[in-house]
Structure formats: structure tokens, C-alpha cells
Structure 1
Amino acid sequence: MLDGTSQNRVDRLKRLRLLLDEIDGSQVTLIGDTMLDRYHHGFSNNLNSTAPVPVMKVIRSEESPGASAHIALGLNSLGMDVRFHCCIGDDPEGSSISNMLSTEGISTDQIIVVQS
């Protein structure tokens, strides 16, 4: 037997499951700005000699589509058919965003490439 709080949580999760099942295959049009997020992982053990800021030794870096592209990935992961409209630069970062979206099954047909 569940207490009131646990039962409420179970009921909310069941309702969420039903809502997610209903949106599977739904179409959504997303228009927005996008950018490439970069995450640098490392450590710092000293300060810069000319300013009081840490000097970081980067061990590894990661990239992922950010801003509205991140939202497009999330909607796609819920099973929605995402029509994503944005502009990206004609540069390595823009290509990286486009490739990552394509890899995840998001059409890049509506993405406008702007000359840098």
C-alpha cells in the first residue's frame, strides 16, 4: 500500500506516460536561433600571471547542438516529427550542427546556410 505522496507520484507518472504515447508521431515546427555548445573538461592548478583567472588544462572537449537545436533534439527524442528552421554559418561549427542533427534523424532541409 502506497502513502498519499507516493500514490500521487505514481498517478502523475502514469498520466505522463499516456501524454507521451499520444504525442508520438506528432508534427511540430520549430523556428529559432541555434549555436554549438562546447564543454571543456579539465583541471586548474595555477592562476594566469597577468590576471586573477585560473589556467585550465583541457583533458577532453564535447560539442552538442545548443539553443533551439537542443530543443529540436529533445522533441525528436519524444517521438515527434520535428521540422526545424534556423540559420547556421558556412563554417565548421555550422557543419557540425547540421551533421549532429542529421545523425539524430532531424531533417536539415529547412536550415539556411549563411555565408561567413
Structure 2
Amino acid sequence: MTPPPWFRRFAFAFGIAFAALYVVAVKLDLALFTVYPSIRVVLLGTHHSRDYVGPSMGSFMPAMYWYGWTATAALGALIVGIGAAFLPERWSQPFWSGWLWVIPVAAMIGCVYLTLPWFRL
């Protein structure tokens, strides 16, 4: 069974936009929410520790931003995907289908580059 053309446009646009927006969310630290799993708290937005007296206290309450970055990228990709689903079919024909693998590969390279400072010895 072949999916309808609007779903194909949605899926392709969502995949490309998610990969690109995830790298942007990580680079700009745009988390939709921050999770503190040790105390079971979820806060809207990106929250960093402001404990200047005892900065080591951050190890007792580590913040997890990954869920927020993923939600930010998914929300943005959903908007792009819905917009692409409503485009006329003739407008989507001139796009090169290679973007479906070029953008995610470039996003993976970008994520590796952004995480290099965490692994410096």
C-alpha cells in the first residue's frame, strides 16, 4: 500500500527538519523543558545551575536537557511537516531527494562536533 502524497511530503519534511533543528537546539541550548530526574522535577525552558557558592552541588541534582532539545526539534519539525503536507504536489517536485540523507548526515557530524568539548582529557 502506497501512502498518500501529502503524508510522504509530511514525513520527508519532518525528517529533514528534525535533524537540522536538533543541531540548532543543542547549539543554542533551546530546551523546551529541563528535567531533574533525581528530584523528579520538570521545569519549562532551559535552566542551568546558579549555585556559585557550591558549584559541586550540580552533581547531586544533574539537569537533563536532551528531552527538552528533542521536544524542541520535534515541535519545530511538526510545524514544518504540516506546512509541507499542505503544499501543492507540483511545488514539491523540484526538490532533490538526496536531501533526505545529506541533511541527517550533516546533522550527525554537527552533533559530534558539538559534543567534542565533553570528551577532552
TM-score (norm 1): 0.27
Structure with max Cα Rg? 1
TM-score (norm 2): 0.27
Higher RCO, Cα 8 Å, sep 6+: 2
